Chains A and B, each alone.
Chain A
Amino acid sequence: MSLLELNSITKSFGAIHALQGVDLEVSAGEAVGLMGDNGAGKSTLMKIIAGNFPPTEGAIRIEGNEVTFSQPLDAREAGIEIVYQDLALCDNLTAAANVFLGREAKKRIGPFKMLDYKTMYQKSGELFAELKSETRPRDLVRQMSGGQRQAVAIARTRLSDPKLVLMDEPTAAISVRQVAEVLALIKRLKETGHAVILVSHRMPDVFEVCDRVAVLRRGTKVADKRIDETSPEEVTGLITGAIAAA
Chain B
Amino acid sequence: MTDQTHDQASHAEIDESITSRQEVSGFAAILRTQPFWVFMAILTLGVVMSFVSDVFFTERNMFNITRNFAFFGIMALGMSAVICTAGIDLSVGSLVGLTGIVTGLIMQAGYGIELGFIGCMLTAAAVGLVNGILIAYLKMPPFVVTLGMMSIVVSLARVVSDNKMIYDFGPDMDLFEWIGGESVMGVPNVVWIMIVLTAVFWWVWRYSTWGRWVIAIGGNAQAAKLSGIPVERMIVSVYVVCSLCAGLAAFLFVGYTGSVTNGMGFTWELTVIAATVIGGANLMGGIVFALGAPIGAALIELIRNSLLLAGIPAMWQQFFVGLFLIIAVLLEQIRNRGGK
Contacts and interface: CB of A to CB of B under 8 A. Distances in A.
Interface of A: 72-73, 76, 82, 84, 87-94, 97, 101-104, 106, 113-115, 121-122, 125, 136-140, 142-143
B216 A90 contact: yes
B286 A90 contact: yes
Given A88-B222, A101-B216, A101-B223, A114 B22 contact: no
Nearest to B282: A92
B23 interface: yes
Contacts of A115: 206-209, 212
B286 A101 contact: no
Nearest to B287: A92
How large, as a class, is the contact surface on chain B?
Answer: 20 to 34
Nearest to B336: A142
Nearest to A140: B23
A139 B25 CA distance: 10
Given A82-B226, A101-B216, A115-B209, 15 more contacts: A87-B223, A88-B227, A89-B220, A90-B215, A90-B223, A101-B224, A101-B227, A102-B213, A103-B227, A115-B207, A122-B19, A125-B15, A136-B18, A138-B20, A139-B22
Contacts of B287: 92
A102 B220 contact: no
Contact of A143 (B23, B208, B218): B23
Nearest to B25: A138
A13 to B, nearest CB: 21
Contacts of B18: 125, 136
B20 A121 contact: yes
Nearest to A50: B226
Interface string B16-54: 001111110000000000000000000000000000000
B208 A91 contact: no
A121 B15 CA distance: 11
B228 interface: yes
Contacts of B15: 125
A241 to B, nearest CB: 34
8 contacts: A76-B228, A90-B215, A91-B286, A113-B209, A121-B19, A140-B23, A142-B340, A143-B340
B229 A90 contact: no
Contacts of A87: 223
B208 to A, nearest CB: 7
Contacts of A103: 227-228
Contacts of B19: 121-122, 125, 136-138
Interface string B89-132: 00000000000000000000000000000000000000000000
Contacts of B216: 90, 93, 97, 101
A138 B220 contact: no
